[in-house]
A and B are shown apart, each in its own frame.
Chain A
Amino acid sequence: MFKYLLKRLASGAITVWFIATATFWAMHSVPGDPLLNDKAVDPEIRKNLEESYGLDKPLWHQYGLFLGNMLQGDFGYSYTQRNRKVNDIIRDHFPVSALLGVIALLIAVSGGVVFGAITAVYKDRMPDHIIMVIVILTVSIPNFVFAALSQLGVLNLNEWLGNTFLPVAGWGSWQHIVLPAWVLGLGTLAYLTRLMRSSLLEEEGRGYTLTAHAKGLSRFRILYKHQLKNAILPVITVIGPTIAAITTGGFVVELVFSIPGLGRYYVQAVQQLDYTVIMGTTVFYGAFLVIMVVLVDIVYGFIDPRIRVGQ
């Protein structure tokens, strides 16, 4: 187990290095000048600025500096927001994205498991048909359209109720989280419902289910006590990629609902060619995702020992 863990961590570290390298070179091939403002800059000032950001050095040198600083956990100062460290930007805005993501993930996983179970129990009956139609429609609607539609719906609801029951944009209280988290989690919820359904139906054909039925156990008990444990394994496997989908899906939701999360800052940074913010955010996100996938793998190893043996 320890060796497996070490191996996973080592490959994770190499992956983060690869992400950092790819980001560095991709970004430096973007045409444009990060120091170019509306105002004309004095050549002397420009030279000083370039020196302070290390832009006067050859690219390889810059790459080395970047890697060295990254190892120390320092991503430098933002180009556009003077005197603001990238670390501070991440520290200020990532918790917002993370909170939103965690709640969305909770909604998606719990909803997916519950609806998946319902569809599997009522296979080829009305609840199954209704839920599956909703699921297939949901995966076909782009999330920004869905975000806009739900904003519209809640606006009308608020108008009808006569008070701001749920705010449609902004950030600050728990009511602000409800709508964006719901929009963010819905696509994943639909996907997990499908996965849970097919996984449960597979368990339906197994011998132990048959035995349980023969023993005269209630349908709920079979589902809860016996099938769920086995059927939930595929859901756990996809949680790693799901976290990735939810964190990046957060971009749109943060834009539409004007939430001060990291995704919104990333989009802004790319538009303004803020080298340090782009690099810092990408490496941070990459490392975060790698860690999540490794964590899920380890948890999975505990839950299902067969996997560990397979490795």
Chain B
Amino acid sequence: MTESLSVSETLSPELFEPMTIEMSVDKFEQPSITYWQATWQKLLRNPKAVSSLCIITCLVFITLVGPFIWTVDPAIQDLEQISQPPSWGRSALVVDDFGIWQGVPITEMEQGEEDGPLVLKVIGKGNTEYVRLTWRPIKGISEYHIYRNEFVPLDIATLGIPLAEIILIDGEAVGYEDRLKLSERDYYYSVVAIEQVMNREDSDTDMPIAVYSTIRVSVIQGVTKADALFLNLESEEVNGAQTVKLPLHPFGTDGLGRDILSRLMHGARTSLLIGILAPLIYIAMGVVYGGVSGYRGGRTDEVMMRFADFVIALPFLLFMILLKVAFGIGPGESGILPMIIALIMLGWPSVARIVRGQTFVIKEEAYIQAARLMGAKPFYLVYRHVLPNVLPLIIVSLTFAIPATIFTEAFLSFIGFGVVPPNPSWGSMCNDGLQHMLSTPHELIFPASVICIAVLCFNLLGDGLREAMDVKS
């Protein structure tokens, strides 16, 4: 006792003053971050996921804004340019309107040395509207056949079927005008003089000249004056010839002359609308269904899950087709809404199953018990505790559901149960393009690669998210 007293004597009040901290403790400068921030940072470290996210954002942006910038109507047919490959603007020669062309009078033909009889000459420039040919007739022969080939004919036997048979009546003018479905390429025109058997017998002299001659004609795009005026095309003078600029189709045109770029953008609206909206709705449905089932448990759970199992057991594509057709009621139906309804009706159970399983696990956790003891209502429990824990799983299944849905849409459009024709969709564009795959592959390549890119990006993003959120599949 005495000792303690002595100690108290040595204590002075200033000893009890708060000490000023001089030494600074090393603080952990890392701010605490939420789960979502951590996930986001992890995701940013994954280059594949980031680039996929960028591409998806671009795709969505182009889909939303693109049609306002590139205002070409996807349903308009440009008949001057059918199945054209991608190009940066094409021009066409303005040519005379349709009319009867008599040919070149024989008297006007030059008598050049190299310009012997039966040598084909092109009058004007060969264009897709017409190719005008003339030649000097052989004396005594009045029947000539014109042939058109796409390859160099080897001899007279390989010419094929004649394009026209021409009989010169009085031999005043000679010429032939070809207007038969010309496209922009090289043609080989041949003219054959047909010897009459009578003629042959009459004259003893040999026929000194070749019986046929061939000329190569490079046909260029042509537009008649009337069409140019009608389509309101801008005309200009190039090298003395009047040309017009044809409508621009950067990605080319399809087999009906429709602009592929515009169709891709409008098709993206259809495909992405279905691909994103339907999974969003059916995942929401699945979450509610699975959440209720898992939370209630017992008899309710058994009945609800049995029903979900039945729906899962339905052959998916068979029922997709059946339901799509069943809901496609009424005129003017574009096929988008029935497809979304069918997808929702068949898609929800798999999500419900996952959510239900997860809810089952979470519901037994200690913190849920604690919250329940504190009087939390079921709705609060699900909203506050269960949902945030299931959310990563839901987001990951969404990123995988989107490409699967895009595929389903493409598949249905491909077999003809999808979006109805004036509305383009990527799948139906592939179907159209497939028919011209050999001659004009760009019609298939563009929509197919857009589908591939979109699906690839969503898949890679899903992989990245799964890793970042550490969700087991």
Contacts and interface: CB of A to CB of B under 8 A. Distances in A.
Interface string A192-223: 00000000000000000000000000000000
A247 B315 CA distance: 9
A255 B410 CA distance: 15
B133 to A, nearest CB: 35
B303 to A, nearest CB: 13
A237 interface: no
Interface stretch (B156-164, B323-331, B370-378): B323-331
Given A137-B456, A152-B437, A251-B415, A144 B318 contact: no
Contact of A139 (B318, B414, B434, B459): B459
Interface string A215-244: 000000000000000000000000000001
B459 A26 contact: no
Contact of A22 (B319, B329, B444, B456): B319
Contact of B437 (A11, A18, A148, A251): A148
A262 to B, nearest CB: 11
Nearest to B441: A152
B417 interface: yes
Interface residues of A, number: 41
Given A29-B326, A142-B430, A144-B430, A18 B310 contact: yes
Interface stretch (B62-70, B73-81, B178-186, B447-455): B447-455
B236 interface: no
A136 B458 CA distance: 11
A76 interface: no
B148 to A, nearest CB: 26
Contacts of B323: 26
B407 interface: yes
A244 B321 contact: no
B260 interface: no
Given A18-B313, A144-B434, A145-B448, A285 B318 contact: yes
A289 B430 contact: no
A145 B453 CA distance: 13
Given A142-B430, A248-B317, A270-B417, A27 B459 contact: no
B318 A248 contact: yes
A139 B437 CA distance: 22
A137 B190 CA distance: 50
Q: Chain B at the A interface: mostly helix, strand, loop or mixed? A: helix
Contacts of A271: 416
A19 interface: yes
Contact of A148 (B318, B403, B411, B444): B444
Q: Chain A at the B interface: mostly helix, strand, loop or mixed? A: helix
B455 A267 contact: no
Given A148-B444, A248-B317, A267-B321, A136 B460 contact: yes
A15 B310 CA distance: 6
A31 interface: yes
Nearest to A155: B438
A148 B427 CA distance: 14
A101 interface: no
B233 interface: no
Contact of A23 (B322, B411, B459): B322
Given A27-B326, A148-B444, A140 B456 contact: yes
A18 B410 CA distance: 28
A259 interface: no
B314 interface: yes
A89 B204 CA distance: 74
B403 to A, nearest CB: 7
B309 interface: yes
Interface in A16-35: 18-19, 22-23, 26-27, 29-31
Contacts of A247: 315
Given A26-B326, A30-B325, A282-B322, A152 B438 contact: yes
B204 to A, nearest CB: 50
A136 B322 contact: no
Contacts of A27: 322, 326
A285 B460 CA distance: 33
A142 B451 contact: yes
B313 A290 contact: yes
Nearest to A249: B317
A49 B4 CA distance: 117
A261 interface: no
Interface in B412-469: 414-417, 427, 430-431, 434, 437-438, 444, 448, 451-453, 455-456, 459-460
A266 B318 contact: yes
B458 to A, nearest CB: 9
Given A30-B326, A31-B329, A270-B417, A145 B451 contact: yes
A281 B411 CA distance: 20
A29 B326 CA distance: 6
Contacts of A251: 317, 415
Contacts of B453: 140
A30 B460 contact: no
A137 B322 CA distance: 31
B364 to A, nearest CB: 18
A189 interface: no
Interface in A24-79: 26-27, 29-31
Q: Counting chain A CB atoms within 10 Å of each CB, which of B315, B325, B326, B329 scores highest?
A: B315
Interface string A113-151: 000000000000000000000001101111111001000
A251 B321 CA distance: 11
B286 to A, nearest CB: 17
Contacts of B452: 137, 140-142, 145
A244 B456 contact: no
Given A136-B460, A140-B456, 8 more contacts: A19-B314, A27-B326, A30-B322, A145-B448, A148-B437, A148-B444, A285-B315, A286-B313
Interface of B: 306, 309-310, 313-319, 321-323, 325-326, 329, 403, 407, 410-411, 414-417, 427, 430-431, 434, 437-438, 444, 448, 451-453, 455-456, 459-460
Q: What 7 A-B pairs come out closest when comparing CB atoms?
A: A140-B456, A248-B317, A18-B310, A140-B455, A145-B448, A15-B313, A30-B326
17 contacts: A11-B309, A14-B310, A15-B310, A15-B313, A23-B319, A27-B322, A140-B455, A142-B407, A142-B410, A142-B451, A144-B411, A144-B414, A148-B434, A251-B415, A282-B315, A285-B318, A289-B313
